[in-house]
Amino acid sequence: MSILQAIRIFLFYLLLGTSSLLWCSLSFFIAPFLSFPRRYRFINVYWCRCALFLTRTILGIDYKITGAEHVPQQPCVILANHQSTWETFFLSAYFSPLSQVLKRELLYVPFFGWAMAMLRPIAIDRNNPKEALRHVASKGDELLKQGVWVLIFPEGTRVPFGQVGKFSRGGTALAVNAGLPVLPIAHNAGKFWPKTGWGKRSGTIEVIIGEPMYATGTGPRAIAELNDRAQAWNEARQREMGSLPATQESDATPVA
């Protein structure tokens, strides 16, 4: 890493941290008096747009979107691969209002966590997987009925660029039980914003939004089939972007 790049990264995190502290502090006095859609825009959309602006102007990381026309009018379950922090900024700003699954401990982080608590997140206890699944199902269904997008990273954690984690069925189960589709999204953010370390690379992140996917029925088989189809789509798009070797085989059924 060059000295210039190190300076840019330091400046980026300095401005990102400062803006987060100031914005979260301001939110305590304004957000509680706003309706939830306006509160979400005030706290999350505007700050995440600021984060994307800093990413583009200081780090030289831009993005391009393919398939924006596939986004349905009615909010549903978003299934996206997880490689970095960048996609959290992007998806939180692009879909509004949106709720996502996160570790319950994050809500205890001063300022940041307190502001997040006002955004109706699906906070889970990772030490209790069965209870976490039940909470995602009940809270997620409630939010979908209220017209809130629900973001699920089915890999469960950030996965290094060039790899794909096994998709869990929680997101597709939520969609099938709610009678809604899943909206698949693939990206290669980890190529420029790696999972580990402070290093960043300038470039353009590709974001591909697929057509909504519906289950072919109900019950466990339909959930599993939809989940396999969503993972196969994601892997196929990542191979097209060069994120995965073209010859890499998948356990999921390939789709066009």
How far apart CA 16 and CA 181 sit, in angstroms, is 35
User: In this structure, what token pair is assigned to residue 134?
Assistant: 């039940």
Q: What is the pLDDT of residues 65-78, one digit of tens each?
A: 999 999 999 999 99
Structural domains present in the chain? 63-240 (3.40.1130.10)
Nearest to 24 by CA among 2, 6, 39: 39
pLDDT at residue 232 is higher than 70: yes
User: In this structure, what token pair is assigned to residue 161?
Assistant: 């660029």
pTM of this prediction? 0.90
**pLDDT of amino acid 169:** 92
Selected residue with higher pLDDT from 64 and 243: 64
User: In this structure, what token pair is assigned to residue 178?
Assistant: 């709610």
How far apart CA 190 and CA 172 sit, in angstroms, is 24
**pLDDT of amino acid 195:** 87
